[in-house]
Amino acid sequence: MRYSIPKTQGNVAVMAERSAPTRRFHVPSAVRGSAARIDAATARELVANGALLIDVRRKDDPAVTLEGALRIPPDEISEHLDEFSRDTPIVLACG
């Protein structure tokens, strides 16, 4: 059996083929490109103009919550959807 292991070169994921285990790997979101990803300056500008800032690090992460941010782990966001206005932009941050 052959499977691919993602390797990164800069911002690009390169798949290398190997034989062996059945364990599957994925390309981390920090490496994948996304039209929804914004830079820090744009995030700060959105928050300054009223966007909701959500710190999506897990609660067991010892890091301090970002100032002014709600701390909601990714797996709990769906439980809070009714609390968010569709008219307010949301910025998700992880540190």
51-89 per-position pLDDT tens digit: 999 998 887 777 676 888 998 888 898 999 999 999 999
Q: How big is the chain, counted in residues?
A: 95
- Find out whether 27 and 50 touch, Cβ atoms under 8 Å: no
Contacts of 20 (CB under 8 A, 6+ apart): 1, 3
Q: Calculate the average pLDDT of the chain.
A: 74
| pLDDT attached to residue 38 | 86
How far, in Å, are 4, 10, 38, 39, 59 from residue 75 at the CA level? Answer: 27, 29, 22, 23, 11
pLDDT at residue number 46: 94
- pTM of the prediction? 0.61
Q: Helix H segments across the chain?
A: 40-48
pLDDT of residue 13: 46
pLDDT at 54: 92
Structure confidence at residue 25 as a pLDDT band (50, 70, 90)? low
